[in-house]
Amino acid sequence: MQLRTIDYSKAKEILKIEDLRVSFNTYVGEVKAIRGVDITLYEGEILAVVGESGCGKSVSFQSVIKLLDSPPAEYKGGKILYQGKNLLEASKKEMQDIRGSEISMIMQDPMTALDPTMQIGNQISEGLRRHNKGMSKAEAEERVVKMLELVGIPDPDKRLKQYPHEFSGGMRQRVCAAMALVSSPKILIADEPTTALDVTIQAQIMDLLHDLRKKLNTAIVLITHDLGVVADMADRIVVMYAGKVVETGQVEEIFYDSWHPYTWGLMRSMPKLNETSKVELATINGMPPDLFMPPQGCAFAPRCEYAMKVCYEEQPPVFPCGSDSHCSACWLMDPDAPKVKQPFKKDGEE
Ligand SMILES: Nc1ncnc2c1ncn2[C@@H]1O[C@H](COP(=O)(O)OP(=O)(O)OP(=O)(O)O)[C@@H](O)[C@H]1O
Ligand code: SF4
Ligand SMILES: [Mg+2]
């Protein structure tokens, strides 16, 4: 069992996403990608965000640092509160100051995060010097070399003069990790940070994230399909489906005491807590809904073996599940609903 470092009764909120709605206006219509997302992040925690491809993990957190091109993206509503400020209303200048220094992101696709026309050393040190006025070029370069070394790039003092296309996919991912970590941000969003990396480097990057949290109390959002990583690293889990959060809870609550049928489906391949091998989210029969025309009720209903009439008619509200940290948006939690419980036991057996 993982040792918890967070006492949630005392934990301080550092970021609050409230009723976020994001659409993409495409030539064939509006994709309602994020349909009212609420997520709170606490100082010093590692929050895992899981869910099938296309459920809105990346878009939710790219919204936090306003990385989405608009158009096609359009913020339709909600707030992203950071230190009392709604980031959706922040100016370009304010976002530049925050991005990279206070909140940074390791992008799922490293090529989108790197400028192909700039040497990687300059790319990393540029942000560092922008946020640390008075830091000399030599000091910045020294820090960049250390950081590149830390993320496992051999010969960093030579490689910092190279351009992104001179690096393999895995190496570019490491460069992105170095860029995100170099300013010791208060919030680090890591979007599938290790998918392109071999197991040893994956473990090194994960160790780095752990260290960062321990030393600087950094809050880390870890978007991943790997339940082994979630079990090993996370304090809390947010489960997303079709542009909404369907369940939130501490890691044991989601692994062993989940209340949402979608989570049950995902966790069918559940690893033991602290399992280090790769365990992917299970696939669930059926398809997620068309986000051009999201359903009026629960988006999971056509795939849910417990669906009731109400599920097709009304969106389920968020119900508490017995602790302050655990809640589920499912009609099964309604006092009038039939009693159904997670269909697998603590040890992961059916
Ligand atoms: N530029 C865009 N134009 C139109 N739709 C988009 C665009 N970017 C994202 N989407 C849609 O927004 C939804 C959420 O996408 P997002 O990238 O957040 O998914 P994800 O959960 O990160 O998936 P994955 O696990 O594959 O990374 C998807 O339905 C996707 O098709
Ligand atoms: S609200 Fe209904 S359809 Fe949706 S997950 Fe719960 S039981 Fe299934
Ligand atoms: Mg993604």
In a domain, 1, yes or no: no
pLDDT for 8:
84
Cα of 332 to ligand 2 centre, how many Å?
Answer: 7
Q: Which range of residues forms the domain containing residue 53?
A: 13-102+189-333
Q: 82-108, pLDDT tens digit by residue?
A: 988 999 999 999 998 898 789 999 887
Q: Is the CB of 26 under 6 A from ligand 1?
A: yes
For residue 337, the ligand 2 atom closest to its alpha carbon is 7
**Pair (53, 142) in one structural domain:** no
Average pLDDT of the residues of the chain: 88
CA-192 nearest atom, ligand 1: 27
As a whole-number percent, the residues of the chain with pLDDT over 90 amount to 55
- What pLDDT score was predicted for residue 269? 66
The protein residue with its alpha carbon nearest to ligand 1, atom 4, reads 24
205 and 168 belong to one structural domain: no
pLDDT, tens digit (0-9, with 9 covering 90-100), for 253-280: 999 899 999 999 988 866 666 666 677 7
Work out the average pLDDT over 161-183: 87
194 pLDDT tier (thresholds 50, 70, 90): confident
Residue 272, pLDDT score: 67
29 Cβ below 6 A of ligand 1:
no
Instruction: Please tell me whether residues 52 and 147 are part of one structural domain.
Output: no
Taking the centre of ligand 1 as the mean of its atom positions, its distance from the CA of residue 76, in whole angstroms, is 16
Split at pLDDT 50, 70, 90, the class of 214 is confident
Top-confidence residue, 265 or 207: 265
Please state the atom number of ligand 1 nearest to the C-alpha of residue 288: 29
How far, in Å, from the CA of 184 to the mean position of ligand 3? 23
Q: What is the pLDDT of residue 348?
A: 46
pLDDT greater than 60 at residue 4: no
- Tokens 């986000």 locate to 291
Does 8 reside within a domain?
no
Closest ligand 1 atom to Cα of 62: 18
Which atom of ligand 1 lies closest to the CA of 108?
27
345 domain-assigned: no
202 and 166, same domain (yes or no)? no
| For ligand 2, atom 6: residue with the closest CA | 330
Whether residues 30 and 128 share a domain: the answer is no
Asked if residue 70 has its Cβ within 6 Å of ligand 1, the reply is no
Secondary structure element (H or E) that encloses residue 319, with its range: strand 319-320
Residues 140 and 263 reside in one and the same domain: no
Has residue 20 been placed in a domain? yes
pLDDT in the model for residue 341 = 67
pLDDT at residue number 34: 97
Give me the DSSP letters along 71-137.
TTEEEEEEEEEETTEEGGG--HHHHHHHBTTTEEEE-SSHHHHS-TTS-HHHHHHHHHHHHSTT--H
CA distances from 37 to 18, 47, 156, 267, 283 (A): 6, 15, 40, 22, 23
> Within this chain, do residues 167 and 274 fall inside the same structural domain, yes or no?
no
Same domain, 167 and 201: no
Note the pLDDT tens digit of each residue in 123-135: 999 888 888 888 8
Residues with CB under 6 A from ligand 2: 261-262, 298, 300-301, 304, 306-308, 311, 316, 330-332
Q: Which residue, 142, 128, 150, 272, is CA-closest to 207?
A: 150
Which residues neighbour 61 within 8 Å (Cβ) at sequence distance 6 or greater?
Answer: 49, 105, 189, 191, 221, 223
The finding on whether 251 has its CB within 6 A of some atom of ligand 1 is no
- Judged by DSSP in three states, 157 sits in helix
Pocket flag, ligand 1, residue 72 (CB < 6 Å): yes
- C-alpha 302/C-alpha 286 separation (Å) is 8
C-alpha 243 to ligand 1 mean position (Å): 9
Domain shared by 220 and 276, yes or no: yes
Q: How many domains does the chain have?
A: 2
Report pLDDT digits (tens) over 301-350: 999 999 999 999 999 999 999 888 999 999 999 988 887 766 654 444 44
Range in 151-160, 191-200, 251-260 with the lowest mean pLDDT? 191-200
Specify the higher pLDDT residue, 176 or 341.
176
